[in-house]
Chain A
Amino acid sequence: MIIDVHVHTRLGPDPAGFQYLLDQAAELDVTLCVNSLSPKDGSGMAQSPDLDEVRRCNDWTAELAAAHPERIIPMWYLNPAHGDAACRELEERVAAYSGHQGVKLWVAVRCNDPLLDPIMRICAKHKLPVLQHTWFKVTGNLPGESTPMDLRELALRHPDVSFFWGHSGGDYEYGAKCARGLPNVYMDLGGGEAMNGYVDLLVEHETADHIVFGSDAPGRSLVSQLAKVYGADISRKEKEKILFRNAQALFAQQNLANGAAS
């Protein structure tokens, strides 16, 4: 069993690509935590979509989760710039869905912004893990793109929320140091290249108790990201924690308002 906390779909037709992912997930016994992002002009992704677009994304996520309940955990995508409307969107999604679920935040607003605080309080109430994108790029970040230090601020401000630390900070050496000592964060392995020593370094600084497997598929292949774990010089027990036990334990804590999480 494997839990992949970082999987995207995109609004719009890509049945072949997503079906490939579903088939491979079945082959490798991977549960996919899926969020939908909005395409921008049919190419890149909208960095700050309007509320209607966010709802369309989450409708699509809900549809996929309903179609593949054994394989997909929905991660509701929100734009914190929408304020109260973003909170209402989340509450409605939680009320309507009976299984494990979480929240995905990308690059609309840097995550140390107080705009996130009301959303975090809802996540704490329902024990929704939050996958927050982070990246520290020497080539320059996007305007609303969170750095690992931004997420450290948010995680310290909300100790009752569990965070999947997106991409381990992109620059995983930088991210690993930013996350040290935080009990409520879990380094997400998804997205970067499978560098020699990537997971070993995270285990050294965060321990295997605070790392979760993510792929960032379909942009990344599942297997290239799994290789980060399989290629690490760590114990089998540590690999199991990373591949599924840590995420499984977080989702098991969920106490959703409708009480139907299993």
Chain B
Amino acid sequence: MIDANANLGNWPFRQLRYTTPAALLGKMDALGIEQAVVSSLENVFYKDQLSGNRQLYAQVKGHVDRFLPAFTINPTFPGWEEDLAICIQEFGMRVMRLHPNYHQYALDSAQGAAALEAARAHNFTVIVTTGIEDTRHHHPLVKVPDVPSEQVALAVSAFSDVRFLVAAANFSSITAIRSHCAQPQNLSFEVSRVQGPVGDIEKLCATLGADRVLFGSNLPLHVPEAAKMAVEHAKISAVEREKIVRGNAARLFGLE
């Protein structure tokens, strides 16, 4: 299995398990997850993304067979382009993570477009985290709405040659994003926060096609068993299941 959406690091609002490389690897081993695409969880809140990215690189470089780092870029912060160059030249960056809502820009704005232009220029896969956890439970001082589905659709359409993975979206958000995209050949989704309704994975496969659905855990914020069991118990073919748990991610991230 390949986990298309995981994180390393701490979260300001509660204690979590599996925040370190060793703990995350232990959990992956227990569940049969061979590889994970990981980002810095702290970078959701750090102003200086480079510090989180540098830490992430240090954490994963001893486990290149297990972790593929997705470095986070905030195109609203001064010097982001120089920091991006460091991520490329020193860390070998291949995957870009964006948090448009927490970093306070619209994905279809000039700033969002600048980040996506860079992704296009360097042939990155782009992970857009649209909602990292249930907005009803946010800290009262940090209430962050999900990224609007229209924004995602506009960016996906405008950058049709960039490969997008929407991460941590729930079922209704995925459905809304899909409905706004005419021909989303460059758009995939991971299922960590889908968690319903009943028959969710089957419905996503029917709507999006199994080629566009990826296993993801959103570790350490969620328990990975939720997505794992959802895929395992879905009434889909063995071929579709293999695509979701491994094949699609291998293709999207060049892990084959």
Counting from the closest, the 3 A-B pairs by CB-CB distance are A231-B223, A224-B195, A220-B196
Cα distance, A196 to B196, chains bound together (Å): 17
Interface residues of A in 132-169 (CB under 8 A from B): 135, 137-139
Which of B86-94, B131-139, B182-190 lies at the binding interface? Answer: B131-139
Task: Find out whether the CB atom of B219 lies under 8 angstroms from the CB atom of A196.
Answer: yes
A120, B149: Cα distance in complex, Å: 44
Q: Which of A173, A193, A198, A222 touches B193 (beta carbons < 8 Å)?
A: A193
B16 an interface residue at 8 Å Cβ cutoff? yes
Please determine whether B143 and A138 come into contact, CB atoms closer than 8 angstroms: yes
Q: Which of A17-25, A69-77, A205-213, A247-255 contacts B (4 or more CB under 8 A)?
A: A17-25
Count of chain A residues with a beta carbon within 8 Å of a chain B beta carbon: 36
Task: Report whether over half of chain B's contact residues are helix, strand or loop; otherwise say mixed.
Answer: loop
A196, B18: Cβ atoms closer than 8 Å: yes
The yes or no answer to A221 lying at the interface (CB within 8 A) is yes
Flag whether B199 is at the interface (Cβ < 8 A): yes
Number of A-B contacts (CB under 8 A): 108
A192 within 8 A of B: yes
Give A232's nearest chain B residue, CB to CB.
B223
Q: How large is the interface on B (under 10, 10 to 19, 20 to 34, 35 or more residues)?
A: 35 or more
CA distance A28 to B233 in the complex (A): 10
Given A196-B219, A218-B197, A220-B195, the answer on whether A139 and B135 have CB atoms closer than 8 Å is yes
Given contacts A196-B17, A218-B198, A221-B197, whether A139 and B226 have CB atoms under 8 Å apart is: no
Q: Of B14, B143, B224, B233, which is within 8 A of A24 by CB? A: B233
Contacts of B227 in A (CB 8 A): 224
Bound CA span A156–B232, Å: 42
Q: 17 A-B contacts, Cβ less than 8 Å apart? A: A24-B198, A27-B233, A138-B139, A139-B135, A192-B137, A194-B195, A194-B223, A195-B221, A196-B17, A196-B222, A198-B223, A216-B196, A221-B200, A224-B195, A227-B225, A230-B229, A231-B226
